[in-house]
Chains A and B, each alone.
Chain A
Amino acid sequence: MKILVYIQQDEGKINSVSLEALKGAQDIAAQTNGTVSALSFNADVCSQLAGYDVAEVLVVEDDNLNTFNPLFYLKALEDIAKAESPDIIVFGHTYEARDWAPRLSARLDIPFISDCIGFKNEDELTFIRSIYQGKFNSDSVVNNGAFIVSFQSGAFRVDGLQSGSADIRQVTVDLSGAGDSIAPEEKFQEAEQAIDLNQADVIVSVGRGIGKEENIELARELSKTLGGEIASSRPVVDAGWLESSRQVGSSGQTVSPKLYLALGISGAIQHIVGMKGSKNIVVINKDKNAPLFEIADYGVVGDIFEIVPKLTEKLQNA
């Protein structure tokens, strides 16, 4: 089993989700008698990569690859896949990977099992995906031939990476004309980053379960009583009920308060990555199977409209 791991870097720093994926690749290799190569489009990160237990580090240096353009990246990896014939190409499931790995699958005409949370090697190499918004898992296998797999943030732990000392090999690709139809501009942040949720010891976070805009007041009252900040999952911001700087998750803020009180939030991975570091996670949800209970320290299966007003009242009198 020849495994090629694409290592994403952001301004000269290795992306942690691709390092986790590298650990996943090491685990697959260990169980299948395979070898792992790490591939980078940036020479600066190669010495770090060479310090891990990999067969070799491949590096492509080309000005067209200095910043992300999906079409240049695609052509580079296409050339490399053709030259090196890996059995598995591994990605971390980052936003950047979302923007080119599926297209690589179509170009190479090989399947892509995306956003996996793990693998097992029982009778055959099986990849585990979280589907239906975290409600179920599925086991998938590839029938034959090479394939692409990507791993979700948190699927493996970086601190388990085996170290070693690998050789670095330069490879060349032909990118002429490959990126013409896509022209990325500068990255930017919206001016409004008014609220730093990380200053708060207590965060009361509302999800779609809050139902409508008027009900936000219930949560606001509770968070005021607790001396905390109000935050939310994405759908609440999408609906315009709270400002976007209060969104927690992969496209919002990452928080780690002493208390994260989640009201009517189901627990999609994109939300969890933003709050799983909280010291105490308390979840109130009427669905006992809500995936967020999985990471809760304390759980209440119940209706927020019955509990929150009572809780606020009792806190005010406490």
Chain B
Amino acid sequence: MRQSFFISSVLVGGLVCAEIWISASAQQSPQQIPDAQQAADAQQPTAAQQLGQRLGAQVHSTEGYGGNFVDGFWNPVYHEDSLERGTGPDQGDYAGLPITPEERLHAQIHDPEIMDIPEYQCRPHPSIYGMRGAGGLVRIWQDLDPVTQQQTKIELRLRWQQQHRVIWMEEHEHPPPWAAHTWQGYSVGHWVGDVLEVHTDMLKASYIRRNGLDTDDKATADERFFRYGNYMVHIMMVTDPGVLTEPLIKSNNFVLYPNATMSPYPCQALTEIPRAEGAVPMHLPSQIKAGLEWAIRNHVPIEASYGGAQTMLPAYQDYMKTLPPNPPLSSIEKLTADNESKK
């Protein structure tokens, strides 16, 4: 009995000492962690680095074992380009976009009335625009292989028009060239450290802006997903040689929205405006000038409103000062009125 009591005491004592040592270490750490300068000098990890190391298993990921840090409900934060992304851009507003002259012509011919033809009413945003547009809540989740627990897919669901997207994270056979294209395209992704990189192709012809700037079915996209605390930054890079002279790069921010619920978004196409079958709303060549209203009202030189890669550069502002003044709005309004009467 004495012997068993002694052994038990030693064991308990050992456990208590270990616990005291661990707690002491934890208590000592905040006081004894050197600041960044001292750490650099002493080659000791900083507090942030130590925190990162302790959280490594939760946040950081290795190849094939993706982290779950993009999982959850994400609410878009319209701190960037809120007017364009929310209410939508005006026709004629193409400044700062690397579009070809032919794409600008295509946008000028665009008549917004085309958006209410029955075949367009239930179109979802394509994946190259969905994260940017006024789609609302985004839910992201991962699928894991039941045996290996390796990440096989990351799926996204955007509320508006119930856009459902799959990003393949494992080896998956790419559809052949003759397969049908889809709104969300075919996406493959992989982790580079904490950053999710995604490439998408097989997209339907769709759009990069809601004022007539369309893409064709040759477009591809590359994305990056970054997480900073409860914020996610999404970078979209769209490539379409027939439409863009260089990749169009846009960033979108999201904030984590715990305990969110996503409502369904049913859609049924209706005939909202009586229109003869087969008639397609569009602007004829004589009506293109009516699209200059945005530039004139906002005192943007018309040439600048045409867009092009050069309009993305800060130095372009100096060039703008040399451009001639815009014509009066009255001249454009008369043209618009004449054109409306011809419809």
Whether chain B is bound by chain A comes out as: no
Question: Which residues of A line the B interface, CB within 8 A?
Answer: none
